């Protein structure tokens, strides 16, 4: 039987996640203010009665960690270890938001915890970049802790978004059309540890994070990247796998395949999408 997960470990995991998702600006350093902690259903049921206390103690620990980081900054300045001032660390929001939820996708094993934090990054109109959200997902398992970072962009900062391409497909939920407004979209079955832009309802042959479509903003060309276990096809031919398996999990290797203006993309030869470039 798996060992019980100490509640104090959950608080430590949130602090770990916060430290990984700091954003250093010129006059301040921002820490994400919202955290979602996912637990195995049995773990969640065991802790359900003390969730308000757990939330309160996590908030207290986050406040104490900010004070510790800022004391450290003050000490470094006083002894002259840094040439300039180190900006104070502060929460990006008005108040901390902590949620403890039961795993809805059956991905988390008992004794494992998954923490998500999101930090909204400012738009860069001069570069044509709109608001972006950086998401850090930390998985704390009995033998190993892994982290995953993803930056999701809303695309151009223009009020009228440009539709670059269109994807049409049919899954268990019916017919769907997705307009491509960003330079990168991820496709798959999704899940709490696998945020995707297009979440398809299909068999488990389709990976939770199956493929990515990337647009080169300089040329407008599109590329297909396979991230799956059972493969991705382009007009009936398998494309090269776009990742290698390393010590800490999947790591993209840069392999991608140019997409023609019209194409048929197959996910594990189970679900098919029609791609059409519009601009």
Of 73-77, 206-210, 223-227, the one with minimum mean pLDDT is 73-77
Write the DSSP symbol of residue 224.
Answer: E
C-alpha–C-alpha distance, residues 248 and 244, integer Å? 11
Domain 165-277 has CATH 3.40.50.740: no
C-alpha–C-alpha distance, residues 90 and 133, integer Å? 18
| Residue 136 pLDDT exceeds 60 | yes
C-alpha–C-alpha distance, residues 119 and 135, integer Å? 7
C-alpha–C-alpha distance, residues 65 and 18, integer Å? 9
Residue ranges of domains in the chain:
7-153, 165-277
Give the architecture (CATH level 2) of 7-153.
Answer: 2-Layer Sandwich (3.30)
C-alpha–C-alpha distance, residues 152 and 196, integer Å? 10
Q: What is the model's pLDDT at position 35?
A: 94
Q: What is the pLDDT of residues 10-48, one digit of tens each?
A: 999 999 999 988 988 888 899 999 899 999 999 999 999
pTM of the predicted structure, to 2 decimals: 0.66
CA distances from 259 to 7, 188, 236, 255, 264 (A): 48, 18, 13, 13, 10
More confident residue, 166 or 190: 166
Q: What is the pLDDT of residues 141-161, one digit of tens each?
A: 887 888 877 776 654 444 567
Fold match, 7-153 / 165-277: no
Q: What is the pLDDT of residues 108-118, one digit of tens each?
A: 888 899 998 98
Q: What is the pLDDT of residues 69-108, one digit of tens each?
A: 998 655 555 554 554 566 889 998 888 999 999 988 788 8
3-state SS class at 164: coil
Q: What is the model's pLDDT at position 84?
A: 54
């Amino acid at each position: 039987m798996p060992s019980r997960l100490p509640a104090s470990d959950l608080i430590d995991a949130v602090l770990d996640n916060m430290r990984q998702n700091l954003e250093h600006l010129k006059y301040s350093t921002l820490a994400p203010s919202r955290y979602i902690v996912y637990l195995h259903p049995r773990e969640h049921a065991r802790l359900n009665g003390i969730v308000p206390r757990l939330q309160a103690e996590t908030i207290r620990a986050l406040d104490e960690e900010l004070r510790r980081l800022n004391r450290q900054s003050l000490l470094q300045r006083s002894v002259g270890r840094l040439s300039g001032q180190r900006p104070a660390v502060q929460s990006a929001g008005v108040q901390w938001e902590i949620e403890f939820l039961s795993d809805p996708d059956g991905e988390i094993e008992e004794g494992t915890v998954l923490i998500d934090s999101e930090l909204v990054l400012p738009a860069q109109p001069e570069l044509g970049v709109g608001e972006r959200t950086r998401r850090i997902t930390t998985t704390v398992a009995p033998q190993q802790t892994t982290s995953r970072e993803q930056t999701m962009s809303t695309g151009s900062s223009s009020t009228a978004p440009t539709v670059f391409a269109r994807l049409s497909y049919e899954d268990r939920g019916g017919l769907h059309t997705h307009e491509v407004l960003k330079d990168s979209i991820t496709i798959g079955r999704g899940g709490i540890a696998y945020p995707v832009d297009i979440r398809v309802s299909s068999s488990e042959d389709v990976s939770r994070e199956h493929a990515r479509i990337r647009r080169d903003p300089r040329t407008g060309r599109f590329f297909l990247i396979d991230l799956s276990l059972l493969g991705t096809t382009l007009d009936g031919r398998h494309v090269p796998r776009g990742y290698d398996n390393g010590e800490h999990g999947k790591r993209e290797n840069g392999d991608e395949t140019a997409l023609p203006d019209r194409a048929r993309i197959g996910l594990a030869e189970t679900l098919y999408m029609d791609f059409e470039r519009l601009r």
